[in-house]
Amino acid sequence: MSKINKELLQELRDHTGLGLMDCRKALEETEGDFQQALDLLRKKGAAVAAKRADKETGEGLVKAYIHPGDRLGVMIEINCETDFVANTESVRQFAQDLCLQIAANKAMYVSPDQVDQNFLAHEKEIFKEQMANSGKPEKIIEQVVEGKIKKLYSDICLLEQQFIKNDQLTVKQVLQELIAKTGESIRIRRFCRFELGK
């Protein structure tokens, strides 16, 4: 396809934040189909994120948010490879968005691998007890419990939550898109949520 609709190209750039050539190439590969081009760029973003995952992330930023009324606050540390990327508008905006996400959705952990194992074992027991008198076979009960654990992760793990600004994406997918856009490894290292009296 030689001629790409300029409005569609601009919309894809606005939606992804990626460069003109990346967006043009994605539209050409998908014969001008916006949704397919978007999906293609997301897949490439995940691939770039995987390639960059082992890179050293010694730079970054700490962002803070205090909710109006001064009863709730969030601090987050985001690491990346260079201070140049840490100071870009897109990384700073991502950090700010995550502060709002944590304030609103009360994430407890960055990712599932950080969840306290005692807490997880306790939750699994509760889920199993809820299913104990269901009359369902053990295999089905195990599948239901695993589904409930996955749902639990999407509630308490920041990377698994639906992104506050676009519930079609998880925070992890937004992070992968940011990694693809910047070309650097970016990690959410840690965060803390403060709520008065809690």
Domain presence at residue 168: yes
Q: How do residues 62-79 score in pLDDT, each as one tens digit?
A: 999 999 999 999 999 999
Please give the angle made by the CA atoms of 194, 196 and 198, to the nearest 5 degrees: 75
* 106 and 169 part of one domain: yes
Residue % of the chain over a pLDDT of 70: 89
Q: Does 2 have pLDDT greater than 70? A: no
Mean pLDDT, residues 75-99: 93
- 37 pLDDT exceeds 70? yes
Q: Are 99 and 116 in contact (CB under 8 A)?
A: no
Residues 163 and 139 grouped into a single domain: no
Q: Which amino acid is at 153?
A: Y
Residue 134 domain boundaries: 116-155
Q: How many Å apart are CA 192 and CA 51, to the nearest integer?
A: 29
Helix (H, G, I), strand (E, B) or coil at 188: strand
- Arithmetic mean of pLDDT, 171-198: 90
Distances (CA, A) of 86 to 49, 50, 79, 188: 16, 19, 8, 12
pLDDT (0 to 100) of residue 49 = 52
Mean pLDDT of 142-146: 88
Regarding whether 169 and 93 lie in a shared domain, the answer is yes
